[in-house]
Chains A and B, each alone.
Chain A
C-alpha cells in the first residue's frame, strides 16, 4: 500500500505514521508525511496512492475542499481531525472513517479494518464526488440505480438514465456503499432499494429486475446473499 499522511503537527504526524506501520506492517510500501495541502496536492499529482490520512484543519484552513477532491479519486480517505464538528458531513461525502483526536491503537485498527469490511449502516454515504470538466460534482447516492465496473473505473448509472464515471473501482465503492448496496456480480453493484424482482432462469442463471425494468445479471455465487438481503 502507498500511503500519504497530511498533518501539520510533527508529533501528531509521527504518531499516525507509527501506528499505521504497527497495524499494516509489511503491507506498507511507501509512507509519506506532508504538512500542508499544497504539498499534498503536489504529491498526488506525481504519485498514486491507495490510502490518504487527512487532517481537515491544517494551518487554520478548512480542508474540506481537498476532501471533496480526494474522495473523487481512486484511493480511500480516512480523516483524522481535532474538530469533530464535520464528521457527519465527511461521512456523507464518502470517507472511509473519521477518527477524532486523540486516538489510540485500537481506534486506528478499527479504522483500518474498514479497508476489508467496509462501513456500517450508521454512517451512510450521501454523495459521491465526481470530477467533471475540472470541477467537482456531487452525485446523490439515492439517484444511483446501479454501478457497473469498468476496469480501474466505475460507471454510475443514474435513475434519470445518464451515466457518470467514477475513479474508484467497484471494490473501492463497495467499501463505501455496502450498507445499502449489494455486489450482485463481479461487474455490478446495485442499490438494493432500486431492486424489484429476482428471477431464476434455471441452470444456475439468475437475473435481477430493477424498478425501471432494466435487467442485470446476478453472479451464481452471489445469489444466496442477494436473496437474503432482499428479504
Chain B
C-alpha cells in the first residue's frame, strides 16, 4: 500500500489537491458479514468466488478531475455512494463467465461526485483466476492527470538502466564468444542480462496493463530472477577473485531455494535472497582484500554501497535501493573487469615476450663471436694442419647445431636431450682445446624435464672460467631425488685466479630466467666456490 504513495511521489504537483486514501476497509465473503480482518483482506488464501470490499473516502478538498486508482486481484464492479460507476473486467458467479480485469485500474469520476465529504466506495469482485488468493492492494482518489502520470520518472530511469544492462551484457557475451573465452566475461554477461530481466519484470507494471491473473506468475518470475541474479553475482565474485568453492556456492544456492519456496511474501523472498547473495560476495571480497588483490578495495566500496540501504529499507529494499546500488556496483565491476583484463593481457604479453627473448638468448649463445669465431679459427687450423681432425670437428659442430634446433622452441626438454647437447659441445671444444674433455653424470633420471640450455650454460661457464689443466672431468653433474623435488649439483674445478663475480653473470641470469619460465616459483639456485670447486646447486620442486 505504501508504494502507492511512492508511485505518486513524483507525479503529484504542488498545486494538486493531495490524494485521499481509502479508509475503514472491510470485506464480506459470500454469505458472511462485513469484517475488517486484515489477514483475509490482504493475504487471503483458499477462496475462489465472489466477494465484496468496501471503504470510505473522506474528501477534504474538491478535485478538478477526480479519479480512483485501485488494484485488486480479480474482476470487479465499482459502486460509488451506492451507484454503479464502472467496472474492471467483468465479474461473474462462475469461472467461465468472468472476463479478467487489469491489475491496475484507473476510474474517472465526475467533479460533482467527488465533493468534500465522506463517500462510500464498494467493489463486487470475482477472483476465479487468482488461484484462491484474495489480494487487495489499495484504492486512492487523486487528480486524474497525476494518476496517469504516476511512476513515469521511475519507469524512465529504470528502463534506461535496464537497457544499459542489456547492452553491457550483450557486449560481454559477444566478447566471450568472439574475443576470449574468459569465464568472468560469460558470468558477468549472464549477470547483467539476469538483472536486466529482473528490472524489466519489476517496472513493466508502469506501462504494461496486464490482466490480474498474470500477477502471481510475474511475482514468481521476479523471485526466480532474483535468485538467479543472486547466484550469478556470487559465481562472478568467486571467479573474479579466484576463490571457486563448490561447497559455499551450493550452500548459497540451497539457502536461496529455501527462501524462494518458504519465505513469507515475495518482497521478503527477494530481500532475503539478495541480502544472502551480497553477504556471500562481501565475504569473498574481504578475503581478496586480505590477500591484497588488486581492485578488491573499490569493489568492496561498491558492495557496501549496495548493501547498506538494506539496513534501513528492509523489505522495500528490492524496490529501488537495490537496483540503484546494484547499478553502481555493476559500473564498478565493469571498470574493474576492464582494468583487470588489461593487466592480465599485459602479463600474458610479457610472458610471451620473455619466452621469445629466452629462445633468442639460447640461439645467440651459439653464434656469439667468442664461441663461434674461436671455434672457426681452430677449425681452420685443423684443416690446414690435419684435415681429418678438421672434418671430425665439423661433424661435431653439425651435431651440436642439430640438437640445438630441436630444443630451441621448447620450454622444457628431457634431461637426456640436454646432456646430448652438452656432450656434442664438449666434442667440438675438445678439438679447440686439443685434449679430451669429459662430462661426468650420475644419479640423473634422463626422462625428467629441465629448461633447455640449463646445463649447457653451466658447461660454458666451466670451460671459460674453469681450470682446464686439471685431471678431473671438465664438469660433473650429480642428481638427487628428494620428496617432491629433484636436486642437481653441477661442479667444475676452478683455478685460483678465476673471478668469483660469476655469481651474477649473464649465464646464471639466463638459467634463472629459464627456471622461472618453466617452473614458476618452484625452483632454487645457489652457486659459489668451495675448496677450489665451483658448484651450482639447482633444486626443482614438484616432479613433472
Minimum CB–CB distance from A102 to chain B (whole Å) comes to: 4
Minimum CB–CB distance from B316 to chain A (whole Å) comes to: 77
For B514, the chain A residues whose CB sits under 8 A away are none
Which residue on B lies nearest to A37, using beta carbons? B497
Asked if residues A101 and B376 are in contact (CB atoms below 8 Å), the reply is: yes
Which of A9, A11, A18, A84 is the most central at the interface, judged by chain B CB atoms within 10 Å of its CB? Answer: A11
Asked if residues A83 and B373 are in contact (CB atoms below 8 Å), the reply is: yes
Which of B369, B432, B434, B497 is the most central at the interface, judged by chain A CB atoms within 10 Å of its CB? Answer: B369
Count how many pairs of residues, one from A and one from B, have CB atoms less than 8 Å apart in the complex: 65
Which stretch of A53-61, A69-77, A148-156, A195-203 is in the interface? A53-61
Asked if residues A12 and B374 are in contact (CB atoms below 8 Å), the reply is: yes
Which residue on B lies nearest to A103, using beta carbons? B377
Number of B positions contacting A (CB below 8 A): 24
B381 sits at the interface (CB 8 A) = yes
Docked complex: B498-522 residues within 8 A CB-CB of A: 498-499, 505
A82 sits at the interface (CB 8 A) = yes
B382 sits at the interface (CB 8 A) = yes
Minimum CB–CB distance from B475 to chain A (whole Å) comes to: 16
**Which of B369, B374, B380, B498 is close to A9, meaning CB atoms less than 8 Å apart?**
B374
Given contacts A11-B381, A15-B380, contact A101 B434 (CB under 8 A): no
B343 sits at the interface (CB 8 A) = no
Which residue on A lies nearest to B469, using beta carbons? A35
Docked complex: A107-163 residues within 8 A CB-CB of B: none
Asked if residues B464 and A82 are in contact (CB atoms below 8 Å), the reply is: no
Asked if residues B382 and A59 are in contact (CB atoms below 8 Å), the reply is: no
A38 sits at the interface (CB 8 A) = yes
Docked complex: A62-100 residues within 8 A CB-CB of B: 82-85, 100
For A38, the chain B residues whose CB sits under 8 A away are 497
For A85, the chain B residues whose CB sits under 8 A away are 369
Asked if residues B465 and A11 are in contact (CB atoms below 8 Å), the reply is: no
For A50, the chain B residues whose CB sits under 8 A away are none
Minimum CB–CB distance from A167 to chain B (whole Å) comes to: 26
Complex-state Cα separation, A147 to B158, whole angstroms = 95
Asked if residues A9 and B373 are in contact (CB atoms below 8 Å), the reply is: no
Asked if residues A104 and B380 are in contact (CB atoms below 8 Å), the reply is: yes
User: A-facing mask of B209-251, CB < 8 A → 1, else 0?
Assistant: 0000000000000000000000000000000000000000000
For A102, the chain B residues whose CB sits under 8 A away are 373, 376-377, 379-380
Complex-state Cα separation, A196 to B433, whole angstroms = 57
Asked if residues B370 and A12 are in contact (CB atoms below 8 Å), the reply is: no
For B434, the chain A residues whose CB sits under 8 A away are 10-11, 14
Complex-state Cα separation, A36 to B499, whole angstroms = 12
User: A-facing mask of B486-501, CB < 8 A → 1, else 0?
Assistant: 0000000000011100
Complex-state Cα separation, A82 to B368, whole angstroms = 9
B456 sits at the interface (CB 8 A) = no
**Which of B432, B435, B465 is close to A60, meaning CB atoms less than 8 Å apart?**
B465
Asked if residues A60 and B378 are in contact (CB atoms below 8 Å), the reply is: no
B423 sits at the interface (CB 8 A) = no
For B433, the chain A residues whose CB sits under 8 A away are 9-11
Minimum CB–CB distance from A22 to chain B (whole Å) comes to: 11
Asked if residues A59 and B465 are in contact (CB atoms below 8 Å), the reply is: yes
Complex-state Cα separation, A212 to B223, whole angstroms = 104
B54 sits at the interface (CB 8 A) = no
B269 sits at the interface (CB 8 A) = no
Asked if residues B373 and A36 are in contact (CB atoms below 8 Å), the reply is: no
Which residue on A lies nearest to B429, using beta carbons? A9
Which residue on B lies nearest to A83, using beta carbons? B369
For A82, the chain B residues whose CB sits under 8 A away are 369-370, 372-374, 377
Docked complex: A6-35 residues within 8 A CB-CB of B: 9-12, 14-15, 18
Given contacts A9-B432, A38-B497, A82-B374, contact A14 B464 (CB under 8 A): no
User: A-facing mask of B358-390, CB < 8 A → 1, else 0?
Assistant: 000000000001101110111111100100000
Which of A15, A36, A84 is the most central at the interface, judged by chain B CB atoms within 10 Å of its CB? Answer: A15
Asked if residues B431 and A84 are in contact (CB atoms below 8 Å), the reply is: no
Asked if residues A15 and B377 are in contact (CB atoms below 8 Å), the reply is: yes
Complex-state Cα separation, A9 to B376, whole angstroms = 12
Minimum CB–CB distance from A58 to chain B (whole Å) comes to: 9
For B369, the chain A residues whose CB sits under 8 A away are 57, 82-85
Asked if residues A11 and B378 are in contact (CB atoms below 8 Å), the reply is: yes
**Which of A15, A59, A100 is close to B381, meaning CB atoms less than 8 Å apart?**
A15
Which of A18, A36, A84, A102 is the most central at the interface, judged by chain B CB atoms within 10 Å of its CB? Answer: A102
For A11, the chain B residues whose CB sits under 8 A away are 377-378, 381-382, 431-434
Complex-state Cα separation, A10 to B505, whole angstroms = 25
Asked if residues A9 and B497 are in contact (CB atoms below 8 Å), the reply is: no
**Which of A12, A36, A60 is close to B377, meaning CB atoms less than 8 Å apart?**
A12
Which residue on A lies nearest to B393, using beta carbons? A11
Minimum CB–CB distance from B385 to chain A (whole Å) comes to: 8
For A36, the chain B residues whose CB sits under 8 A away are 497
Minimum CB–CB distance from A79 to chain B (whole Å) comes to: 13
Complex-state Cα separation, A59 to B495, whole angstroms = 12
For B499, the chain A residues whose CB sits under 8 A away are 61
Docked complex: B8-45 residues within 8 A CB-CB of A: none
For B432, the chain A residues whose CB sits under 8 A away are 9-12
Minimum CB–CB distance from B338 to chain A (whole Å) comes to: 46
Which residue on A lies nearest to B381, using beta carbons? A15
Complex-state Cα separation, A18 to B382, whole angstroms = 12
Asked if residues A83 and B381 are in contact (CB atoms below 8 Å), the reply is: no
Asked if residues B464 and A60 are in contact (CB atoms below 8 Å), the reply is: yes
Minimum CB–CB distance from A17 to chain B (whole Å) comes to: 10
Minimum CB–CB distance from A10 to chain B (whole Å) comes to: 5
Which residue on B lies nearest to A56, using beta carbons? B370
Asked if residues A9 and B378 are in contact (CB atoms below 8 Å), the reply is: yes
Complex-state Cα separation, A36 to B382, whole angstroms = 23
Which residue on A lies nearest to B499, using beta carbons? A61
Which residue on A lies nearest to B502, using beta carbons? A60
Minimum CB–CB distance from A36 to chain B (whole Å) comes to: 7
For A57, the chain B residues whose CB sits under 8 A away are 369-370
Which residue on A lies nearest to B433, using beta carbons? A10
Complex-state Cα separation, A36 to B465, whole angstroms = 11
For A104, the chain B residues whose CB sits under 8 A away are 380
Which residue on A lies nearest to B505, using beta carbons? A60
Docked complex: B420-475 residues within 8 A CB-CB of A: 431-435, 464-465
Which residue on B lies nearest to A38, using beta carbons? B497
For B379, the chain A residues whose CB sits under 8 A away are 102
For B385, the chain A residues whose CB sits under 8 A away are 18
For B380, the chain A residues whose CB sits under 8 A away are 15, 102, 104
Given contacts A10-B434, A11-B431, A12-B432, contact A101 B497 (CB under 8 A): no
* Closest A-B pairs by Cβ, 9 of them: A82-B373, A11-B378, A15-B381, A102-B377, A101-B373, A83-B369, A82-B369, A101-B377, A102-B376
Given contacts A10-B435, A59-B465, A102-B377, 5 further A-B contacts (CB under 8 A): A60-B465, A85-B369, A102-B373, A102-B380, A103-B377
- The interface of chain B, by Cβ under 8 A from chain A, is 369-370, 372-374, 376-382, 385, 431-435, 464-465, 497-499, 505
> Can you name 11 A-B pairs with beta carbons within 8 Å?
A12-B377, A12-B381, A14-B381, A18-B385, A60-B464, A60-B465, A82-B377, A83-B370, A84-B369, A85-B369, A102-B377
